[in-house]
Amino acid sequence: MVGGKQDALAAFEELYQAHGARLKSLACNLLGNVADAEDAVQDAFLKAYRGWGGFKGGASPSTWLYRILVNSCYDAGRRRKRRREDASCQAPLELRPAAGRDHPLRLTLEAALERLGERQRTVFLLAEVEGFTHREIASILEIAEGTSKHDLFAAKRELRRELRGTRLASRSEAEA
Amino acid sequence: MREATCADLEAALAGEDAELAEVFSRHARSCAACGEELALAEAITAAAPSLRKEWPSPGLEQRIRAGLRAEGARKRRLAIASWATLAAAAGLTIALVARALFVPPAPTAPAAEQLSIPAIDDGRERLLTEQAAAEVDKAEQAYVRSIDSLSKLAEPRLTQSRSELVANYREKLLLIDSAIAECHSQIDRNRFYAHLRLELLSLYREKQRTLDSLLKEDPNAL
């Protein structure tokens, strides 16, 4: 890569083209709304641009970018919690699930995910929604691969428990 | 033949043992409770991709680009301010050293005169700065040559391997080269820019570390 400043910008634009959609989706699922998600993605790119010298070989710049994004989302979530803002997960009108993938369980699952711990929720989103491997997740979250597998298993077990409760409640209502 | 029981539920759903998952699936067909748990697990896996969010955000890319440009401008302003400070400090050091070397003490002079710093000839100061810059250029060229040698050693690994690990190295080296080129273009505008010289040095060090690290990787892992 040659040519200076324009190329540094071009490299980050390439990262945006390749990963922007997934970064937005992950941020939206972690923060619950489009505006905060876009702010977090923008923030992640700026932090990456400012401190890219700090990232080590062995992880790709994109993995590093996801790590910065996840941390930005955690920070934003904590700030919001401190401000006692309404963390409503109501999707705005323009937001839609990925084409052809709407599912009746989606809303129940979203609500159940809200109740998971921070890391289990992130591992579930990265693995089951965004399709990352455990190796990639381990690199993004700086945890062991085994921890990623364990968190995913624990998250699914908790989600099963939540969904079971929801189904039992629905049945009771129907019977009444 | 291996058989599964209700106690195998969690192990089967962990997905680590394909044979157990298959055997448990047969068990679940004849056990209502396990059948329901398995159905729930499958429903979660099937519904998860629907959580992926997509929405048009035409302004976001522009916002990011504008943010990165503003950050670049901010870095340049900071660098200019740092250079001005460095230049002032260097000028003061040169003046103090020159005074100590070339100006004999004047024991009869009043105290106020002893404190004054004599004027330095502009030509001499510039000459000293140019000498320093020339030495930096020379050292930099030697450093670049050694990094080029490392790059040649690493080239077969970078070009021949299709592994994810090497792809990561390639991506990082591209970013470093991009930043080095950017730094050079700024130095071309002012070669006495000490802050940029330090930044360039740290970039070369990072490239050297990355190449070293690549060459130390186990060939079987590439």
Q: What is the pLDDT of residues B14-26, one digit of tens each?
A: 888 889 999 999 9
Burial of residue B200 (number of CB atoms within 10 Å: 0-12, 13-18, 19+): buried
- Mean pLDDT in residue range B32-45: 92
B128 has a pLDDT exceeding 50: no
| Angle (CA) A46 A50 A51, round 5° | 120
For A40-61, the pLDDT digits (tens) are 999 999 998 887 666 666 678 8
Whole-number Cα distances in Å, A113 to A38, B25, B200, B218? 21, 26, 46, 40
What is the DSSP secondary-structure string of B82-96? HHHHHHHHHHHHHHH
Whole-number Cα distances in Å, A174 to A112, A167, A171, B135, B173? 21, 10, 5, 85, 62
Q: Which residue has the higher pLDDT, B165 or A155?
A: A155
Cα(A90)–Cα(A88) distance, integer angstroms: 6
* pLDDT reported for residue A34: 93
Cα(B100)–Cα(B96) distance, integer angstroms: 6
B182 with A20: Cβ contact below 8 A: no
**Residue B163 — very low, low, confident or very high, per pLDDT cuts 50/70/90?**
confident
B121 has a pLDDT exceeding 50: no
* pLDDT reported for residue B111: 44
B197 has a pLDDT exceeding 80: no
Q: Does A103 touch chain B (CB under 8 A)?
A: yes
**Residue A95 — very low, low, confident or very high, per pLDDT cuts 50/70/90?**
low
A99 with B56: Cβ contact below 8 A: no
Min mean pLDDT across A98-102, A160-164, B75-79 is at A98-102
A110 with B51: Cβ contact below 8 A: yes
- Mean pLDDT in residue range B34-54: 92
Percent of all residues in chain A with a pLDDT value above 90, rounded to a whole number: 52
**Residue B124 — very low, low, confident or very high, per pLDDT cuts 50/70/90?**
very low
Q: Of A59, A8, A49, A57, which is closest to residue B179 (Cα–Cα)?
A: A8
- CB neighbours of residue B91 within 10 Å: 13
- Mean pLDDT in residue range A145-166: 92
Is the complex ipTM higher than 0.85? no
Q: Which residue of A has its CA nearest to B209?
A: A57
Per CB-CB distance under 8 Å, the chain B contacts of A120 are none
Radius of gyration of chain B (CA): 33
**Chains A, B: CB pairs < 8 Å:** 180
A18 has a pLDDT exceeding 80: yes
**Residue B181 — very low, low, confident or very high, per pLDDT cuts 50/70/90?**
confident
Q: What is the DSSP letter of B15?
A: T
- Mean pLDDT in residue range B158-185: 82
Q: Of B29, B47, B36, B38, which is closest to residue B11 (Cα–Cα)?
A: B38
**Residue A92 — very low, low, confident or very high, per pLDDT cuts 50/70/90?**
very low
Q: Does A7 touch chain B (CB under 8 A)?
A: yes
Look up the pTM and report it: 0.60
Cα(A4)–Cα(B188) distance, integer angstroms: 11
* pLDDT reported for residue B139: 76
Question: What is the identity of the amino acid at B218?
Answer: D
For A57-84, the pLDDT digits (tens) are 667 888 889 999 999 999 998 888 777 5
Of B16, B52, B55, the CB nearest to A34: B55
State the DSSP H helix or E strand holding residue A97, giving kind and residue range, or none if neither.
Answer: strand A96-97
Residues 153-182 of B with CB under 8 A from A: 164-165, 167-169, 171-172, 174-175, 177-179, 181-182
* pLDDT reported for residue B99: 60
Which residue stretches of A52-133 are H helix? 61-82, 106-114, 118-124
Per CB-CB distance under 8 Å, the chain B contacts of A102 are 50
